[in-house]
Amino acid sequence: MENNIMIKASGVSKEYRLGAIGGTTLREDLQRLGAKIRKKEDPTLRIGQKPVKNAGEKFLALNDVSFEIKKGEAVGIIGHNGAGKSTLLKLITRVTAPSSGFIGLNGRVASMLEVGTGFHPELTGRENIYMNGAILGMSRKEIDGKIGKIIDFSEVRQFIDTPVKRYSSGMYVKLAFSVAAHLDSEIVIMDEVLAVGDMAFQKKCIAKMREAAETEGRTVLYVSHNMNTIRQLCDRVIVLEKGHIIFDGGVEEGIGVYMKQNDRLSLHYDYTGISRAAANSRKIELMGLDIPDGSNASPVRGEDLHFILHCRANENDSSVGVRFEISNSSGQIIGTSLSDRNISGKKGEMIHLDISMNTGNFSPGRYKAVAVLFESDENGSQAKIDRVEPALFFEVREAPGDIHWFHTWWGDTRFDNMKINGIVRGNT
Coil, helix or strand for 383? Answer: strand
Looking from the CA of 24 toward its CB, the CA atoms found within 13 Å total 15
pLDDT band at 231 (very low <50, low <70, confident <90, very high): confident
CA dist., res. 330 & res. 328, Å (int): 5
The CATH 2.70.50.60 domain(s) of the chain lie at: 268-401
The CATH number of the domain covering residues in 70-260: 3.40.50.300
pLDDT band at 1 (very low <50, low <70, confident <90, very high): low
Q: What is the pLDDT of residues 180-217, one digit of tens each?
A: 888 778 888 887 655 555 667 778 888 888 888 888 88
Q: pLDDT value at position 117?
A: 63
Measured from the Cβ of residue 419, the count of other Cβ atoms closer than 10 Å reads 6
**Strand bridging mode 343-345 / 318-328:** antiparallel
Using the 8-state DSSP alphabet, how is residue 405 labeled? P
Averaged pLDDT, 19-43: 62
In sign, the C-alpha dihedral spanning 150, 155, 156, 160 is positive
Provide the percentage of residues in the chain whose pLDDT is more than 90.
17
Averaged pLDDT, 124-136: 87
In sign, the C-alpha dihedral spanning 127, 141, 152, 184 is negative
Which has the closest alpha carbon to 86: 68, 105, 111? 111
pLDDT of 131 strictly over 70: yes
In sign, the C-alpha dihedral spanning 296, 297, 303, 305 is positive
The neighbouring-strand residues paired with 187 are 109, 219
377-387 core/surface letters (b: 16 or more CB in 10 A; e: else) = eeeebbbbbbb
Q: Which fold has domain 268-401?
A: Coagulation Factor XIII; Chain A, domain 1 (2.70.50)
Q: Which own/partner pairs from 83-86 qualify as long-range (CB within 8 Å, at least 24 positions apart)?
A: 83/240, 83/241, 83/242, 83/243, 84/14, 84/240, 84/242, 84/243, 85/191, 85/223, 85/240, 86/113, 86/191, 86/223, 86/275, 86/277, 86/278
Which has the closest alpha carbon to 309: 392, 407, 188? 392
- Beta-strand ranges (E) seen in 88-235 are 100-105, 109-112, 187-191, 219-223
For the chain, what is the radius of gyration of the CA atoms?
24
Q: What is the pLDDT of residues 348-360, one digit of tens each?
A: 889 899 988 888 8
CA dist., res. 168 & res. 175, Å (int): 11
Averaged pLDDT, 84-93: 87
Q: pLDDT value at position 214?
A: 87
CA dist., res. 313 & res. 322, Å (int): 14
The CATH 3.40.50.300 domain(s) of the chain lie at: 70-260
Q: What is the pLDDT of residues 370-382, one digit of tens each?
A: 888 888 766 666 6
Q: pLDDT value at position 180?
A: 80
Q: What is the pLDDT of residues 306-329, one digit of tens each?
A: 888 999 988 887 778 898 989 887
Distances (CA, A) of 283 to 278, 316, 343: 14, 8, 11
- Beta-strand ranges (E) seen in 314-427 are 318-328, 333-338, 343-345, 350-358, 365-376, 382-396
Highest mean pLDDT among 170-174, 294-298, 341-345: 341-345
List the Cα angle 142/143/147 in 5-degree steps: 135
| 93 compared with 59, residue with greater pLDDT | 93
Burial class of residue 179, CB neighbours in 10 A (0-12, 13-18, 19+): buried
Q: At residue 386, what are phi and psi to the nearest 5 degrees?
A: -155, 150
